[in-house]
A = this chain, B = another copy of it.
Amino acid sequence: MQLNQDVRINLDRFWSTIEASALIGPGRPGGMSRLTLTDEDREMRSLFERWCTDAGLRIVIDEVGNMFARREGSEPDLPPIFIGSHLDTQINGGRFDGIAGVLAGLEIVRTLNDNGYETRRAIVIVNWTNEEGARFSPPMVASGCFAGKHQVSWVHDLIADDGARFGDELERIGYRGEQRCPGTPPDAYYELHIEQGPILDAEHRQVGIVISSYPSVGMRVKFSGETAHTGPTPMDLRKNALIAGARWLTAVDEIGWDFSVGDGKATGARLAAWPNKPGILSDYAQAICDVRHPDPVTTRVMAEKMRRAVFECAAIAGCKADIEDEWFWGGDIFDHDMIDVLHTEAERMGFDWRDIQSQAGHDAYFLATVCPTAMIFAPCRDGITHNNLESCEPEDFSAGINVLLHAAVARADR
């Protein structure tokens, strides 16, 4: 048995789930502010759970709150196919980033139910906890835990800016499950996501097949100085950690401009100092920056410049610097066979598709370390994300979800 090649998903039904999601944790007009492990996150998880149960799926929660909604296959002992993304958003986020990927999985399952089609392998829709890292840093922490990159206890002990502990908040909203982490890798992982650069939209393409991702290096740095009066303290006796941090962000921004011709980017994303008040020099600053570039060697050069700048900027400000954390993402991480099938399906259905590189971080990056993984991008107006102006039409998702449906079912029947 094989799924009829003419089967298509129900776009209106998919869109109605997007609209229902958009009511839970709205932020600025048109956007979302559904931070992980908040009451809004709980409400969305609960709605998602109800939809899945109504579709006949069995829900399992793991120790870090990842949700797995399983549609059984005819051979339950085979490793399943995962289709997932995340239901949390940035503090000023949009209605599609992450959410569309989870709800695409739901729509695929509903379509299979409509057609009474049983796959050989189970299909599991996954909602990864805290992809955004907007409340608990770092981002993608729970897919990282699933993939064995982080320890469960370390994840539970993360503290948010509001003082809350990850493990306590997970208990509070009732989504600390029993399933152990790291989890058992699936046969394959698919993630559909809106694009985050204005490429598909600018070229009026219907779907992007992600062939690789921009290598990226990030660092979290602590600068240590000494408090003193801002007035009389001579420049050469100052140890203002805020200035060390401001100089580092400035230097990293310059690196971004220096490499921008080759599409390099560098970001000063966070600078938090203490006491950070007029009248007193700050003795503490925490800063987070990253660099990325399509070429891995150039990324390494940018990262090395970013690293040297840490210590140069600290020295000018009379401070000490510690690189507290450093991370590397991306590269040629996606499965070539899965990419080939996506190409074939997009071509067969007559969609206007193109290969594309991913520039942002995704849960798929961690999954790619434990199983064959592929990503599909849907167009998004002007590529604007992490902003309430993020905007898509229903039709933007039609090609992507249908390609995902047929590729995932073909994989599930292998």
Q: Does more than half of chain A's interface fall in helix, strand or loop, or is it mixed?
A: loop
Residues A290 and B230 in contact in the complex (CB < 8 Å), given A267-B240, A271-B273 = yes
Stretch at the interface among A116-124, A151-159, A171-179, A274-282: A274-282
The 8 A CB mask of A280-309 against B (1 = contact, 0 = none) is 111100001010100000000000000000
Q: How far is the CA of A196 from the CA of B235 in the complex (A)?
A: 14
Question: Is A56 close to B, CB under 8 A?
Answer: no
Question: Is A134 close to B, CB under 8 A?
Answer: yes
Stretch at the interface among A257-265, A332-340, A342-350: A257-265
The 8 A CB mask of A228-253 against B (1 = contact, 0 = none) is 11111111100010110111011001
Q: Which residue of B lies closest to A256 (CB)?
A: B235
Do B90 and A269 touch across chains, with their CB atoms under 8 A apart?
A: no
Q: Which residue of B lies closest to A264 (CB)?
A: B235
Do B271 and A235 touch across chains, with their CB atoms under 8 A apart?
A: no
Do B260 and A253 touch across chains, with their CB atoms under 8 A apart?
A: no
Do B134 and A279 touch across chains, with their CB atoms under 8 A apart?
A: yes
Question: Is A186 close to B, CB under 8 A?
Answer: no
Question: Is A272 close to B, CB under 8 A?
Answer: yes
Chain B residues with CB under 8 A of A138:
278
Do A277 and B283 touch across chains, with their CB atoms under 8 A apart?
A: no
Taking A90-B277, A92-B280, A134-B277 as given, write out 11 further A-B residue pairs in contact, using a Cβ cutoff of 8 Å, ordered by the A residue number.
A137-B278, A214-B231, A226-B387, A227-B387, A230-B265, A231-B292, A234-B263, A246-B247, A246-B249, A269-B282, A270-B273
What are 17 A-B contacts with C-beta separation under 8 Å?
A92-B275, A92-B280, A92-B283, A133-B277, A133-B278, A134-B280, A227-B387, A232-B265, A234-B263, A242-B268, A242-B270, A242-B271, A243-B249, A246-B250, A269-B276, A269-B278, A281-B386
Report which A residues bind B (CB closer than 8 A): 90-92, 132-134, 137-139, 195-197, 214, 216, 218, 226-236, 240, 242-243, 245-247, 249-250, 253, 256-257, 260, 263-273, 275-283, 288, 290, 292, 317, 359-361, 383-387
Smallest CB-CB A-B distances: 7 pairs: A197-B232, A231-B360, A246-B249, A232-B359, A235-B260, A230-B267, A246-B246
